[in-house]
Amino acid sequence: MNYVTDRGEFSSLQILRAAYLEAPDWKQFWIDARTVTEQPWGKLLLHASDVGGCPRATMYRLLDTPEKPRGASSKANRAVMFWAGYHFHYLTYSALSWAGILACHEEPVEMDEGWSGTLDAEILVGDERILFDEKTVMPNALNYGFSLPKEKDCLQLATYGLTRSNVNGLIEYCDRAGSNTPKECRVDLGQYSAAVGSHMSLLEDCRSALPELPPVLEQAYVPHYARDGENMVLKTVAVETPWNCGYCDYHLTQEERRMNPATGRMKSYSWTQAESTCKPRNAPPLVVAELIGGVLKSCKSGHEAEVEKLTSTTPLSYYAPQEEDTP
Ligand code: SF4
């Protein structure tokens, strides 16, 4: 996207941030993170960021379920990671303010009772009003740039969009380690408004049914890529527990080596522990299709339609250099 501002024209937010940091007056525009008031995170309160996520995980949070235990290094990594993400947000707000296109930042959004949300920023470019969400991600998340923007992130932004008119959406995915070029994604908020409504109703129904929990996420068809030089190439499609289960704070996992029944080879899998409060289906991935050079070579009977749907909407290969900049 092109940003026409008081300070010139910038072809991306990253270029704008860099120009800000090189400007002699940059410090005068630095927005102090400490001036922001924390939003309530109360009992039974749902958040815009819950929309599109796993309803069961949200209900665990509402029930004050203890999160999975973390080791000392994992806790330390998370503390630094949140600090880095937080300050990257404020660097962006400061750069937008320096360029004269920041309308507001960290703005609490008025939502229905029992809901809360905070919009990262609103940007004004010419006559266009843009709701902006910054996502700071792990460096390798940008290797899967084709899968961005994530539907859940679009739904979160569209939830804020319901409270305003004539606005567009923009999500920027930034490597919090700073070594990859960020990815900016324009979002047509209107396209998601119906889905936002049904996700919000689902979460409200789940909250009314507590302490009964909604079911675990259904298994999903997942593409698996293998590196081929600077490209990642689609090799197999498997049916497995959705990837986000492994990252859920309520999913106690341990790694075990087991035999993959499809190949007969030993492989590491994450397994739900016996004492887990959540039990997604615990089978190893079932490989249902194999591709060679982008051509489907085999597909298990009964999975043809889903494999066809996935391979027609997922790239067969994509460019993914391992490191863009070597300092
Ligand atoms: S483990 Fe999966 S199904 Fe269970 S709460 Fe987490 S994301 Fe949801």
CA distance 265 to 305: 28
If pLDDT is split at 50, 70 and 90, which confidence band does 40 have? low
Give the residue-averaged pLDDT of 9-23: 96
pLDDT for 321: 67
pLDDT for 249: 86
Mutate to test the pocket of ligand 1, among 58, 62, 244 (most ligand atoms within 8 A of CB): 244
Bigger pLDDT: 180 vs 298? 298
Bigger pLDDT: 39 vs 247? 247
> Angle, to 10 degrees, between the axis of helix 193-209 and the axis of helix 151-161?
90
Instruction: Give distance in angstroms: CA of 279 to centre of ligand 1.
Output: 8
Is the pLDDT reported for residue 228 higher than 90? no
Collapsing DSSP to helix, strand or coil, 36 comes out as coil
Is the pLDDT reported for residue 327 higher than 50? no
Q: Rounded to the nearest 5°, which phi and psi values hold at 210?
A: -55, 145
Mutate to test the pocket of ligand 1, among 278, 279, 282 (most ligand atoms within 8 A of CB): 278
Collapsing DSSP to helix, strand or coil, 170 comes out as strand
Collapsing DSSP to helix, strand or coil, 172 comes out as strand
Percent of the residues in the chain that have a pLDDT greater than 90, as a whole number: 56
Instruction: Give distance in angstroms: CA of 248 to centre of ligand 1.
Output: 6
pLDDT for 326: 44
Show the beta-strand stretches assigned E in the chain.
Answer: 3-5, 8-10, 46-47, 102-108, 115-116, 118-125, 128-137, 168-175, 183-187, 220-228, 231-240, 253-259, 266-272, 286-292, 295-299, 317-319
Instruction: Give distance in angstroms: CA of 287 to centre of ligand 1.
Output: 22
pLDDT for 69: 80
Give the residue-averaged pLDDT of 142-155: 84
Instruction: Assess contact for 90 and 33: CB atoms under 8 A.
Output: yes
pLDDT for 278: 81
Ligand 1: which atom is nearest the Cα of residue 245?
2
Bigger pLDDT: 326 vs 111? 111
Instruction: Give distance in angstroms: CA of 57 to centre of ligand 1.
Output: 5
Q: Rounded to the nearest 5°, which phi and psi values hold at 213?
A: -100, 145
Determine which residue's CA is closest to atom 1 belonging to ligand 1. Answer: 245
Q: CB within 6 Å of ligand 1 — which residues?
A: 54, 56-57, 60, 216-217, 244-245, 248, 250-251, 278, 280
- Give per-residue pLDDT as tens, 261-318: 778 888 776 666 666 778 777 677 899 999 998 889 999 999 999 999 999 988 888 8
Is the pLDDT reported for residue 89 higher than 90? yes
If pLDDT is split at 50, 70 and 90, which confidence band does 29 have? very high
Token pair for residue 15? 């270029």
Is the pLDDT reported for residue 320 higher than 60? yes
Is the pLDDT reported for residue 145 higher than 90? no
pLDDT for 152: 93
If pLDDT is split at 50, 70 and 90, which confidence band does 254 have? low
pLDDT for 180: 85
45, 34, 26: which is closest to 97 by C-alpha?
A: 26
pLDDT for 15: 96
Mutate to test the pocket of ligand 1, among 250, 252, 253, 277 (most ligand atoms within 8 A of CB): 250
Determine which residue's CA is closest to atom 2 belonging to ligand 1. Answer: 245
